[in-house]
A and B are shown apart, each in its own frame.
Chain A
Amino acid sequence: MLPGLLPYEGPGHDPDPPQGGFLAAVSLILTRIPGQDGDVVGSDSRFLLIRRARHDRDPWSGQMALPGGRRDPTDTSLLATAIRETREETRVDLGAAGRLVGRLSTVTPRTPHLPALSVIPFVFTLSVPVAATAASAEVAEVVWAPVTLLQGSQARITHYLPMEGVRLAFPALDVDGRTVWGLTHRILDDFRIRMGWRGAP
Chain B
Amino acid sequence: MDEGTGTATVTVTAPFLRITEIFHSIQGESTWVGAPCTFVRLTGCPLRCVWCDTEYSFHGGDRMSLDEILAEVRRIGCPVVEITGGEPLIHRHAFTLAQRLVEEGYTVLVETSGSEDVTPLDEGVHVIMDLKCPGSGEMARNRWENLDVLDHRDEVKFVVADRTDYEWARSVIRDRGLEDRVRDGSLRAILLSPVWDGQDRRALAEWILEDGLQVRFQTQLHKHIWDPGARGV
Contact = CB atoms under 8 A, between A and B. Distances in A.
A107 B60 CA distance: 8
Given A189-B59, A190-B59, A201 B48 contact: no
Contact of A200 (B50, B59, B60): B50
Contact of B58 (A168, A189, A199, A200): A189
A168 B117 CA distance: 12
Interface string A151-165: 001001010000000
Contacts of A201: 50, 134-137, 161
B45 interface: yes
A198 B60 contact: no
Contacts of B56: 193
B218 interface: no
A186 interface: yes
B61 to A, nearest CB: 10
B51 interface: yes
Contact of B115 (A105, A156, A169): A169
Nearest to A169: B46
A105 B59 contact: yes
B47 interface: yes
A166 B50 contact: no
A143 B136 CA distance: 29
B18 to A, nearest CB: 8
A169 B46 CA distance: 6
15 contacts: A105-B59, A110-B18, A156-B137, A169-B46, A169-B90, A171-B45, A171-B46, A171-B58, A189-B59, A190-B58, A193-B55, A198-B50, A198-B52, A199-B48, A199-B50
Interface of B: 18, 45-48, 50-52, 55-56, 58-60, 90, 92, 115, 134-137, 141, 161
Given A169-B90, A186-B59, A201-B50, 11 more contacts: A105-B59, A105-B60, A153-B48, A169-B115, A171-B46, A186-B58, A190-B59, A193-B55, A193-B56, A199-B48, A201-B161
